[in-house]
Amino acid sequence: MDIGLVKRCAAAGVAAVALSVSVSAPAAASQAPGAATCSYQVTPVVVPPGAERQRVDVVATDGAGNYSGTEIVGSSGAYRLVLWHGDDPETVEPPKGFDSVAPRSQNRSGTVLVNAVSVADRKRQIFLYRDGNYEPLAIPDGFVDPRGVAINDLGEIVATANPVGGTGSVVIAWLSHAAGPVIIAPPELPYASAVDIDQDSTIMLGDGYSAYLWRSGKLIALPPSPEVPVLSRGISAGRAVGTILDAKGPKGVVWTGNIPELLEGGGAAESINRHGLIAGRARAWDGPPVVWQGTRLAAELPLPAGSTSARADLVSDDGTVFGDADAGAGPVHWRCAV
């Protein structure tokens, strides 16, 4: 362990023991589909007919076998929404008046949170796509350039937007217990940016290099942030993940509440599911794709034939891990074979 990192974390009010990588998964974690008992198999994601594999990406999942992503079309770089029903892809045209649409999040009911852009006037709009229809999300007056970020199973949504005529950014949340959109603009975060929302309405946010939780109107720092730069990535079932930026290399971290624990072997954490299974890359930014269970390195994920590197970017609640591989392999997924 980097002793300098521990000292900086302690200066931020964190006991050094909280950063021990020798601890096991949190006691509350249930056994994940696809944990230490698994032998993972890698399979190419089926892309839409005629699509180039390198132009397709998986972005979100409903946690129960369906997922969504993008296909880049034409020379303009515009995105099309792709929905996978099981492993069968369906390409969806953008809503009327928009040229490009990309998903950011998907919940258990199949609702997909998407961002749409009009090339002509650069207008941005957040939509919910469900039951074959795009439904625009009304943005509060006084804000522009909305970017939807995450939706939970309650249909609660978080987004980032800019104030009209002002500087910085704010987080906007649509919560089940609130009569209208909630504007989150902490003075500590003049460029507040949404990261994710948990099933209990806890919001993960930051300003690019910091990690915070927002719960019941209270802002909670996730040590060693903000004193040490951190990339925040996601939250599920009370556990959040991110990566501490350190001169000796990235250090994946999982927070239970606001208590940090380093992931075994270092590397970058990208996604966590409700069972505490974490996907990312071990040791370095360009390290091999891996999964951790709790803080323990559970498996290095195999590469598809012909590839020399891959990323593991997204882990579903059913244990499927999604990513991308080089050498033309494009999007792939890893599934557990016990």
Q: Which of 3-17, 268-282, 313-327 is least confident?
A: 3-17
> Mean pLDDT in the chain?
90
Q: Rounded to whole angstroms, how far apart are CA atoms 18 and 112?
A: 36
| Owner of token pair 């649409």 | 101
Residues 281 and 311: beta-carbon distance below 8 Å: yes
Mean pLDDT in residue range 281-287: 97
φ, ψ for residue 19 (rounded to 5)?
-100, 15
Q: Residue 67 has which token pair?
A: 């997922």
pLDDT at 40 over 60: yes
Q: Which of 9-13, 121-125, 268-272 is least confident?
A: 9-13
Q: Which of 113-122, 219-228, 235-244, 286-295 is least confident?
A: 113-122
Mean pLDDT in residue range 277-282: 98
> The whole model's pTM is what?
0.90
pLDDT band at 36 (very low <50, low <70, confident <90, very high): low
Which of 207, 244, 213 lies closest to 228 in space, CA to CA? Answer: 244
Q: Backbone dihedral region of 163: left (phi > 0), alpha (psi from -120 to 50 degrees) or beta?
A: beta
Please report the pLDDT score of residue 42 as a whole number.
98
pLDDT band at 6 (very low <50, low <70, confident <90, very high): very low
Mean pLDDT in residue range 95-99: 96
Q: Rounded to whole angstroms, how far apart are CA atoms 319 and 313?
A: 13
Q: Residue 96 has which token pair?
A: 């009327």
φ, ψ for residue 56 (rounded to 5)?
-115, 140
Mean pLDDT in residue range 102-131: 95
- Percent of the chain exceeding pLDDT 70 equals 89
Q: Rounded to whole angstroms, how far apart are CA atoms 278 and 292?
A: 5
- For the segment 125-155, what is each residue's pLDDT rounded down to a tens digit? 999 999 999 999 999 999 999 999 999 999 9
The burial of 97, by beta-carbon neighbours within 10 Å (0-12 exposed, 13-18 middle, 19 or more buried), is given as: exposed
Greater model confidence, 277 or 75: 277
Which of 234, 299, 325 lies closest to 272 in space, CA to CA? Answer: 234
Please report the pLDDT score of residue 76 as a whole number.
83
Q: Rounded to whole angstroms, how far apart are CA atoms 319 and 149?
A: 22
In the chain, where the domains are located:
1-55+233-338
Mean pLDDT in residue range 117-126: 91
- For the segment 219-250, what is each residue's pLDDT rounded down to a tens digit? 999 999 999 999 999 999 999 999 999 999 99
- Percent of the chain exceeding pLDDT 90 equals 86
pLDDT band at 31 (very low <50, low <70, confident <90, very high): very low
pLDDT at 15 over 90: no
Which of 205, 229, 201 lies closest to 215 in space, CA to CA? Answer: 201
Residues 302 and 42: beta-carbon distance below 8 Å: yes
The torsion angle over the Cα atoms of residues 281, 284, 288 and 289, rounded to 10 degrees, is 10
pLDDT at 206 over 70: yes
Please report the pLDDT score of residue 159 as a whole number.
98
Q: Rounded to whole angstroms, how far apart are CA atoms 148 and 125?
A: 9
Q: Rounded to whole angstroms, how far apart are CA atoms 120 and 140?
A: 23
pLDDT at 83 over 50: yes
pLDDT band at 35 (very low <50, low <70, confident <90, very high): low
